[in-house]
Structure 1
Amino acid sequence: MAARPYKIPESVLVVIHTPEREVLLIERADAPGTWQSVTGAKDYDGEPFDATAIREVAEETGIVVGSPAVPREALVDWNLRNVYEIYPAWRHRYAPGVIHNTEHVFGLTVPRGTPVVLAPREHLAWRWLPWREAADACFSFSNAEAILQLPRFLP
């Protein structure tokens, strides 16, 4: 059996929200009670960040960016970057010596009532919350800070 490749320390954070500023949070299966937005690492070095975001949103929520309900233009690169230390419990997933990750933040506007289908191995539950409540519910400081930026990106 081949060894699993190391994770690339570049990822996306996608704040999925409605025009009414409701934010989708998903509960981690590996840490019940831990709520977050969609996140995920690049699959390969040359993968564009928007492609990573589109893939992760589909994998984690079943929402298809580029569909009639959620057009490609609904995904917006917020041009925000977070560099953070990888939690020690998760460092084994990365190459030896890698302790920091760079996260690229996107927003995705979806219509109210957009169906959510979770990947059961990754997430246990989902909920929509008003943006400030969603920020308060996140376990990750960078995720909470990204959600608090939402009003800057809406009309």
Structure 2
Amino acid sequence: MRHLSHSQLRIVPYKIPESVLVVIYTPELDVLLLERADRPGFWQSVTGSKDSIEEALSYTAQREVMEETGIDTTLHTLTDWQISNLYEIYPVWRHRYAPGVTQNKEHVFGLCVPRDTSVTLAPREHLRFEWLPIKEAADRCFSASNAEAILQLNQRAAQ
């Protein structure tokens, strides 16, 4: 995989409607959830859009995990689950996208980390975090695709 520096990337003025969802979990299958700073009470896994058209999805996942949690994915196993979801962008966030863009394509990744992994939140993005059992984590997510990904952990961990 070729990594491009920020100076080599073509930055666009609007968010790119292609993103990653990274389910971070422990070998014991506890799931890390983050509470959004811009929407208290909305809990989710790490998510984020590509910064440029050229940015590789695996790099987007690595970058977003580092920015939102301080976790270095190169020290753990980041796995592309080969799942993508097409969903309607919530109206409250559509202003971030080019006019007329209403759907986002989300690519799902998993990241297994030891339970004692340190988490450092980006304060502008998240208020707090919790490690939760699978069912409780899925129930707390505001996003249906995030909940579905979490519910796949038992099957994915057995592979």
TM-score range, shorter chain: over 0.9
Write out aligned runs for 1:76-91 (5 A): 76-91=79-94
Aligned to 1:39: 47
Aligned to 1:118: 121
Q: 2:85, 2:150 → 1: CA distance?
A: 13
* Deviation, structure 1 residue 65: 1.1
Write out aligned runs for 1:53-92 (5 A): 53-67=61-75, 70=76, 74-92=77-95
Partner-residue secondary structure (3-state), 2:73: coil
Aligned to 2:143: 140
Q: Which runs of 4 or more aligned residues in structure 1 lie more than 6 Å from their structure 2 counterparts after TM superposition?
A: none
Q: 1:29, 1:115 → 2: CA distance?
A: 20
Aligned to 2:131: 128
Aligned to 2:8: none
Q: 1:66, 1:49 → 2: CA distance?
A: 15
Instruction: Structure 2 unaligned segments of length 5 or more: list them.
Output: 1-11
Give a deviation string over 1:9-32, Cα, whole Å, max 9, x none. Answer: 000000000011000000000001
Q: 2:67, 2:155 → 1: CA distance?
A: 27
* Deviation, structure 1 residue 112: 0.9
Q: 1:96, 1:6 → 2: CA distance?
A: 9
Q: 1:112, 1:86 → 2: CA distance?
A: 33
Q: TM-score, normalising length from structure 2?
A: 0.90
Aligned to 1:19: 27
Give a deviation string over 1:63-88, Cα, whole Å, max 9, x none. Answer: 01113xx2xxx000111111000011
Letter in 2 for 1:145: E
Give a deviation string over 1:81-132, Cα, whole Å, max 9, x none. Answer: 1100001111110011100000000000001110100000000000000011
Moved more, 9-18 or 144-153: 144-153
Partner-residue secondary structure (3-state), 1:104: strand
Aligned to 1:95: 98
Q: 1:134, 1:13 → 2: CA distance?
A: 14
* Deviation, structure 1 residue 151: 1.3
RMSD: 0.9
Q: Percent identity?
A: 67
Aligned to 2:107: 104
